[in-house]
A and B are shown apart, each in its own frame.
Chain A
Amino acid sequence: MSKVSMFPAGDQSLRIVFENKIDQTIHKQVSQLDDAISQKDIPGIRETIPAFRTLTVLYDALQTDYETLSETIWSLLSVSQKIPRMKKRIIEIPVCYDEQFGIDLKDVANHAGLSAEDVIQLHSERDYLIYMLGFLPGFAYLGGLNPVLSMPRLRTPRHKIQAGAVGIAGSQTGIYPVASPGGWRLIGSTPVQLFDADRESPFLYEAGDYIRFRPVSIKEYDMIRQQVYTNTYQCKVKIEEDGYGDPGNA
């Protein structure tokens, strides 16, 4: 495993820092450590927050201290990386790419020198790894966009982008979980509510899961929307064998 370091982050948090890059192997190291910590039930730990190459651990300094915790975490670190391969959890998100929602779809297609149908095909054929969540409630930083589809953000951001909008910004793709201003190129929209505070689990996915976009017609979009309103819609979740193998060999 590449070099890892640990630092205090204030008097009630610490951070485990892996190699400085966005990379599936690094991501997997972060997730495995995160899992190992949550399984261990270590006294004093309040919550853990995974990111691209860091795991931040918030703790109660009245219950534990940096030395004690860092020792425990170092010991978990070596063990966690030997945990057998994880299953790949894929959350299927229906997306309607109709121009009613995909207001920038034509621009993205022109930019890539493709037809709109090609863009939809390329965008929905891949599984996107959720590296981390942040920025907005339930906003997923997704990796794996086909480089052909990458396109810079709008020069002037839009005042309001509706919740569910699917877009492209640079080499990233993503979904707006809540309405927000933003400069993403919008190519579609999902009828699914990615974040719902009243739902038993307010979020549909977490870091380490994969997202697969399934193209749907406007008719199906409306139908799913109805089901979402009546709380009868459930996103399909598939479990597959992990595609990217051991972190050491990646």
Chain B
Amino acid sequence: MGIQVTRSGMQTTIQDQGRSGYQRYGFSVSGAMDQFSYRLANLLVGNTHNEAVIEMAVQGGSFSFSEPTTLAITGADCSPRLNGVPITMYQAVHVEAGDELTTDLLKSGMFSYVGFFGGLKIPEVMGSQSTSTRYGIGGLEGRALKSGDTIQFKTISNTLIESQSLIMSLEILSDLFDSEIIRYVPTEDDTHFEEGTQELFCQNDYSVSVKADRMGYRLEGQAVEPDHQQESLSEATVLGDIQIPPDGKPIVLLADRQTTGGYPVIGTICSVDIPKMVQCRPGKKITFVSIPLKEAQDLLAEQEELFSQWAAQLTDPERKEVSEKVSNDKLKQDNHIEWNPDQIKDVIRRVDKSKLTYFSYESNLVKVKLDKRQPQLEMPETDRLGENTPVEKPDTELMQSTLVGVYFTHSERGNQLYIKEGDHVVVGQVVGRIEALKISNDVIAFTNGIVRSIYVENDQMVEYGMPLMEVELDSES
């Protein structure tokens, strides 16, 4: 055994570079949504091949290890902790048998990745280990991970691979998570769009709607008017295609997209900007910028150059291979690069500007720790009887959202209202549901009592920690 899943997270799957070669048979590619972070996760642990990693969406999972390994976490900030102690993302970390990795709600984006030295022992299906939950194949039984699942490593690693952590990629990261610019190559096929449509498309802002999943993201904003008179015959879809359905609200096609489609396509997002698009959370404002094909291909070549530079940097001389397990003390003796005050100020400024909430760096001479995490949400005033009321105030519990998604007061099937104010609820009762990434999650009462106030409306977007309702506890309980 290698990894045991102790908490599954919201949609945690095994992914790799995707299942290519079968689009002509109608078979989706799948693979990691953010291929940039995916590659980086492999690179940081010293994998020369594109090994399968664990992809976590929106809410991360927790894992315990029965064998030692080296792992690295990339993508959106998921506040990882090893045995309760925060660990730095974008850095190789050695774990021992018995260690536990916990992650939390993703903060800066939509997807985080955990890469492992040597990769995961998962059978290949049609040349790939990636999970397609739509078809129920690949990964672990073709489904998302659940608690209790075990995954084996291909190789057990007593090797510590040291890397330079975040410093090298800070700029890239802030671009990945903070940039509001999405570059695309416009279609040259002018059958479906009148002159000026591209310009209009670029002038308007769009935001990712809550209808976002591994197949694609539906955008909100100014409707694009295609000429739907001209009927389109189905043709192959391409990763990053910006489709325009009859309502004019663009849909960006992503990893699990259908292989063919009939809606007109206004353009295709540049390969280098697809990870940016993928990491956009619902509500984030974006602007599309049309660039020439040549420029898009140059950007791709630049990125590839960066990857080879990193690979060179990480393999030698920073990477230390030791056959025996290495203690943390030894780690600290190694020669890290040192910073002057200006560099530290620069990092503070960048972290401050970025959406990273936690950053730490430590060497034998310098220790930098930046923590922007907000204190827990303040409980709203629950005393509804007034300050001067001498009556003992009843005990109340505030139910908060544990997910980011859309809240529904009615059941999915049958459209039945779960509860209204004044209703009595019991432990385990479903009182609402939150839909995130197209998955409906029940909101369950954890106390017996009377629902005094409901703070959310049907179809409302809710954030992590947002108060949902207040329950007045039964006196005897």
Contacts and interface: CB of A to CB of B under 8 A. Distances in A.
Interface of A: 5, 7-13, 15, 17, 20-22, 46-54, 56, 58, 61-62, 65-66, 132-139, 141, 177-178, 195, 197-198, 202-203, 206-207
A46 B268 contact: no
B300 A61 contact: yes
B270 interface: yes
Given A52-B233, A65-B297, A135-B26, A10 B240 contact: yes
Contact of A47 (B21, B28, B268): B21
Contacts of B28: 137
Contacts of A138: 25-27
B235 to A, nearest CB: 4
A197 B127 CA distance: 10
A13 B268 contact: yes
Contact of A12 (B187, B234, B271, B304): B271
Nearest to B183: A11
Contacts of B235: 15, 51-54, 56
B296 interface: yes
A49 B297 contact: no
B461 interface: no
Nearest to A204: B25
A47 B297 CA distance: 18
Contact of B26 (A65, A134, A198): A134
Given A48-B24, A49-B236, 17 more contacts: A5-B189, A10-B185, A10-B267, A10-B268, A11-B271, A11-B293, A12-B238, A49-B23, A49-B260, A56-B238, A58-B238, A132-B234, A133-B24, A178-B135, A197-B126, A197-B137, A206-B24
6 contacts: A10-B268, A15-B189, A51-B260, A56-B238, A138-B26, A202-B126
A66 B292 CA distance: 12
B346 interface: no
A54 B270 CA distance: 22
Interface of B: 20-28, 125-126, 135, 137, 184-185, 187-189, 230-231, 233-236, 238-241, 258-260, 265, 267-271, 293, 296-297, 300-301, 304
A44 to B, nearest CB: 12
A202 B25 contact: yes
9 pairs of A and B residues whose beta carbons are closest in the complex: A10-B268, A134-B260, A49-B236, A56-B236, A11-B296, A51-B235, A133-B26, A52-B233, A54-B235
**DSSP class of A's interface residues: helix, strand, loop or mixed?**
loop
B259 A49 contact: yes
Nearest to A179: B136
Given A7-B189, A11-B296, A137-B135, A62 B25 contact: no
B126 A47 contact: no
Contacts of A58: 20, 23, 238
Contacts of A178: 135
A61 B297 contact: yes
A36 to B, nearest CB: 15
B20 A47 contact: yes
A175 B267 CA distance: 33
A61 B235 CA distance: 21
Contacts of B26: 133-139, 177
B238 A13 contact: yes
A9 B238 contact: yes
Nearest to B189: A7
Nearest to A10: B268
B185 A20 contact: no
Contacts of A139: 26
A10 B23 contact: no
A202 B300 contact: no
A41 to B, nearest CB: 15
Pick from B26, B265, B270, B301 the residue with the most CB of A within 10 Å: B26
Contacts of A198: 125
B142 to A, nearest CB: 9
Contacts of A48: 24
B241 A10 contact: yes
Contacts of A197: 125-126, 135, 137
B233 A202 contact: no
A53 B230 CA distance: 15
B231 to A, nearest CB: 8
B236 to A, nearest CB: 4
Contacts of A135: 26, 234, 258-260
A15 B191 CA distance: 14
Nearest to B297: A61
Contacts of A141: 234
Nearest to A201: B25
Contact of A50 (B24, B125, B135, B239): B24
Contact of B304 (A13, A49, A50, A62): A62
B347 to A, nearest CB: 32
A132 B23 CA distance: 11
A157 B364 CA distance: 66
